Amino acid sequence: MSCSRTIPRVAIGLLLLMAAGAFAQKASPKPVLTPEQSCRAYVQKFYGWYVPAMLHSGNKVMSDVALDRKDFAFSPELRKSLKEDLAASRKNKDEIVGLDFDPFLNTQDPEHRYVVGTVTVKDAHCSANVHGVVSGKKNEKSDVTPELELRDGRWTFINFHYGQTEKPEDENLLAVLKTLRDARKTSR
């Protein structure tokens, strides 16, 4: 067999192998996640980014950093309310007029790791219980429960719930921000 015949045969063989590989990749599509699985993954990914960044944020207000870097992750209402609160806090350095805790973790002293527990999805809304992990053990009670909504094919944080308290206005982030905003208006 001559060299001139071998080169085309090798080239054809390589093309057939490449085509078979491409076909095999297309034949096994990515698994489709259930709404619960996709919400869980989205929330876990957010906390996987947020918590380490917060623990090493220096003097930065990490919720403000999150709004800047991940603004798509928050509903317009939540983003606007948080930005107003942050602006009011910056204007009054000597007085607490805004949030005095991390709104996404519901604490002033965060754990080093958080995991998503129970996830509930109904009518394009998701609630995901998030638990701090202490000494390798997940807190029994959730620390915060983000509420998300599926918008344009993407999960979006619309509120953060903190559990039942004596004051209903302390039970979720939007209510806390509204209470603080109303208090600032009356103190003028």
Q: Where are the domains of the chain?
A: 1-30, 34-186
**Contact indicator for 40, 119 with CB cutoff of 8 Å:** yes
Average pLDDT of the segment spanning 166-184: 93
Average pLDDT of the segment spanning 151-156: 95
pLDDT, tens digit, for every residue of 68-103? 999 899 999 999 999 999 998 888 777 777 899 999
What's the pLDDT score for residue 7? 55
Q: What is the DSSP string of 84-146?
A: HHHHHHHH-TTS--S--SBTTTTBSS--S-EEEEEEEEETTEEEEEEEEEETTEE-SS-SBEE
Which residue pairs, CB below 8 angstroms and at least 24 apart, start in 93-98? 97/180, 97/183, 97/184, 98/180
Task: Report how far apart, in Å, the C-alpha atoms of 35 and of each of 44, 110, 119 are.
Answer: 14, 28, 10
More confident residue, 27 or 117: 117
CATH number of 34-186, picked from 3.30.390.10, 3.10.450.50, 3.50.7.10, 3.90.1150.10: 3.10.450.50
What's the pLDDT score for residue 6? 55
pTM attached to this predicted model: 0.81
Token couple for 83:
């930005």
Written as one letter, the residue type at 71 is D
Average pLDDT of the segment spanning 104-112: 94
Alpha carbons 44 and 11: distance in angstroms, whole number: 47
What's the pLDDT score for residue 74? 97
Q: Is the pLDDT reported for residue 36 higher than 80?
A: yes
What's the pLDDT score for residue 14? 47
Average pLDDT of the segment spanning 139-155: 96
pLDDT, tens digit, for every residue of 4-26? 555 555 445 444 455 555 555 55
- 53-85 core/surface letters (b: 16 or more CB in 10 A; e: else): ebeeeeeebbbbebbeeeeebbbeebbebbbeb
